[in-house]
């Protein structure tokens, strides 16, 4: 079952971003027509997507053990990199006030407890 995770830019009339786990992609939709304005490949088994307005970036956390960083440039959005997290670590939270992305890692074995990874975006 494909999940969709909407995001709407600040201000009226901005695009709506939806991330799909299969096929793995971030799609920007025109809210008036519902038509796709742009799509960008993303990591697999996406669960959460957050927009960093300060940097004009999306952070997409995925169960395949990566968080993709998708940034706006003059031609739209493009993937600028990914950060390795942990297999199954698909739940995340971006807190703009703290300028941090938190990614939850589930316990894999009795010897490997659950954890929360904390990332500070740069620049």
CATH number at residue 13: 2.40.10.480
Would you say residue 73 lies in a domain? yes
pLDDT at 10: 53
CB contact set of 96 (below 8 Å; sequence gap of 6+) = 52, 53, 54
pLDDT at 13: 57
> Is beta strand 91-95 parallel, antiparallel or unpaired with respect to 115-119?
unpaired
Token pair recorded at residue 93: 């939270």
Token pair 């995925």: residue = 62
pTM: 0.86
Would you say residue 102 lies in a domain? no
List the chain residues with pLDDT less than 50.
Answer: 1-5
Token pair 């009339």: residue = 13
pLDDT at 22: 81
Name the domain count of the chain: 1
Would you say residue 119 lies in a domain? no
Would you say residue 67 lies in a domain? yes
Would you say residue 23 lies in a domain? yes
Would you say residue 12 lies in a domain? yes
pLDDT at 3: 45
Beta bridge partners of 76: 73
Would you say residue 26 lies in a domain? yes
Residue 97: HSE in the Cβ half-sphere, 13 Å Cα cutoff: 0
Would you say residue 11 lies in a domain? yes
Nearest Cα to Cα of residue 67 among 34, 51, 44, 100: 44
Pairwise CA distance, residues 103 & 114, whole Å: 11
pLDDT at 93: 95
Q: Which domain holds residue 53?
A: 7-87
């Amino acid at each position: 079952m494909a999940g969709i995770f909407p995001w709407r830019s600040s201000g009226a009339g901005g695009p709506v971003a939806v991330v799909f786990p299969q096929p793995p992609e971030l799609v920007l939709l025109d809210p008036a027509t519902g038509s796709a304005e742009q799509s960008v490949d993303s990591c697999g088994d996406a669960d959460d997507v957050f927009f960093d307005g300060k940097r004009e970036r999306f952070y997409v956390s995925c169960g395949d053990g990566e968080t993709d960083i998708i940034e706006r440039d003059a031609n739209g959005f493009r993937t600028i990199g990914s950060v390795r997290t942990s297999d199954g670590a698909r739940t995340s939270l971006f807190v703009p006030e703290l300028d941090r992305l938190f990614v939850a890692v589930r316990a894999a074995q009795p010897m490997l407890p659950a954890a929360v990874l904390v990332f500070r975006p740069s620049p």
